[in-house]
Amino acid sequence: MKDQHVPVLLSESLDYLITEKAGYYFDGTLGFGGHSGEILNRIDNNGLLISTDVDKTAFNYCKKKFGSEGRIKLYNFNFSLIDVIVKLESIKFFNGVIADLGVSSYQLDNSSAGFSYSTDAPLDLRMDKNLKVNASDIVNTLEERKLANIIYKYGEEKNSRKIAKQIVEARKNKEIKSTGTLKELITEITPPRYQTKTLSRVFQALRIHVNNELEFLKQFLKNSIEVLKSGGRLVVISYHSLEDRIVKEIFKYGALSCVCPPDAPVCTCDKVQQLKILTKKPVLPLDEEIKKNKRARSAKLRVAERV
Ligand SMILES: C[S@@+](CC[C@H](N)C(=O)[O-])C[C@H]1O[C@@H](n2cnc3c(N)ncnc32)[C@H](O)[C@@H]1O
């Protein structure tokens, strides 16, 4: 298998990430090793990279790809466990932490990975196949109101109620087991010009819910701040507004030195500033990159530095 994912905002993200050639770095979303490979190109023989991915295929692929390279250690862990990984590695701090969120092109394009609605595949959507509940379980068992809420909250889809109703009606007759069946149910009640967007939103919503993506992202960001060295950088590439909002808010909170009400006579909050935001506005890919790689079009890069 060759690299099945083109890394996004590669030089922009690494220009921020690498502050010390002999530093210790953490890549929380290894994927096909695009960012990790470039980190290795930029650190020297005293540097170390620890990379992790929940997806076993990505992990196994990179084990082969980086085979004899001694400066990288690979984990098949959730990135939220960065605090556990530092302990396992007896590392105190990282000089830089990076996450390139979401799914890889391989996961999206490969029907056997179960993420795609363009080809018929089992309705799975788990990045980590050890998770007990998959997307099929959700659409076949969750009550209509909860299903609608997930589609609305994580897919920002206005027709969430109509879609949930259609799913619940259909499953009375037959279990919904494939991406193709779910796609058919959604397209049946969606005008043709909205179908692609609606499908993307519903599949995004189910994927976020099944993988508990937003909660893990929050834990990852909070834990990362604790294991960054002063001057170390936290670099995050996100692909939709829900992720980007979380990154923005956690960075903003981290950059505050006081959270007392504005009319408080003296500060009593004990809040300590932990971050300095380096990207007041997110860095976006250049048109040139988007032309070459469509997946880059929704990418946003945000960077904060540990104070
Ligand atoms: C956009 S891809 C990363 C691609 C990678 N930067 C490259 O250049 O090859 C995102 C990867 O993050 C992984 N992932 C998503 N959420 C994760 C989490 N909570 N913990 C660990 N890996 C995660 C996915 O399985 C996927 O392989």
Rounded CA separation 150/172 (Å): 20
Return the amino acid letter for 35: H
* 220 contacts 99 by C-beta, under 8 angstroms: yes
Q: Judge if the beta carbon of residue 93 lies within 6 A of ligand 1.
A: no
pLDDT of 1 over the 80 cut: no
Distance 89 CA to ligand 1 centre (A): 21
Rounded CA separation 11/141 (Å): 44
Which residue's alpha carbon is nearest to atom 27 within ligand 1? 31
* 176 contacts 183 by C-beta, under 8 angstroms: no
Q: Which two tokens stand for residue 303?
A: 């960077």
Which pLDDT band, with edges at 50, 70 and 90, does 4 fall under? confident
- Across the chain, mean pLDDT equals 95
Going along the chain from its start, the domains and CATH numbers come out as 10-100+213-306 (3.40.50.150), 113-211 (1.10.150.170)
Rounded mean pLDDT, 6-22: 97
* Three-state secondary structure call for residue 231: strand
pLDDT digits (tens, 9 = 90+) for 253-282: 999 999 999 999 999 999 999 999 999 999
Helix axis angle for 213-226 and 241-254, nearest 10°, is 30
Distance 107 CA to ligand 1 centre (A): 10
Q: Judge if the beta carbon of residue 102 lies within 6 A of ligand 1.
A: yes
Distance 31 CA to ligand 1 centre (A): 5
Rounded CA separation 149/146 (Å): 5
pLDDT of 233 over the 80 cut: yes
Q: Judge if the beta carbon of residue 217 lies within 6 A of ligand 1.
A: no
Q: Judge if the beta carbon of residue 37 lies within 6 A of ligand 1.
A: no
Rounded CA separation 223/200 (Å): 30
pLDDT digits (tens, 9 = 90+) for 15-66: 999 999 999 999 999 999 999 999 999 999 999 999 999 999 999 999 999 9
Q: Judge if the beta carbon of residue 58 lies within 6 A of ligand 1.
A: yes
Lowest mean pLDDT among 115-119, 196-200, 303-307: 115-119
Distance 27 CA to ligand 1 centre (A): 9
Distance 29 CA to ligand 1 centre (A): 3
End-to-end CA distance of the chain: 42
Which residue's alpha carbon is nearest to atom 13 within ligand 1? 29
* 49 contacts 40 by C-beta, under 8 angstroms: yes
Best residue among 30, 106, 208, 219 to mutate for probing ligand 1's pocket (most ligand atoms within 8 Å of CB) is 30
Find the helix or strand (DSSP H, E) in which 136 lies.
Answer: helix 135-141
* 13 contacts 35 by C-beta, under 8 angstroms: yes
DSSP string computed for 283-305: B---HHHHHH-GGGGG-EEEEEE
Rounded CA separation 225/120 (Å): 41
Please name which of 208, 105, 117 lies closest in space to residue 156, comparing C-alpha atoms. 208
Which pLDDT band, with edges at 50, 70 and 90, does 142 fall under? very high
Distance 33 CA to ligand 1 centre (A): 9
Residues forming beta bridges with residue 277, ordered by sequence position:
304
Q: Which two tokens stand for residue 53?
A: 């991915």
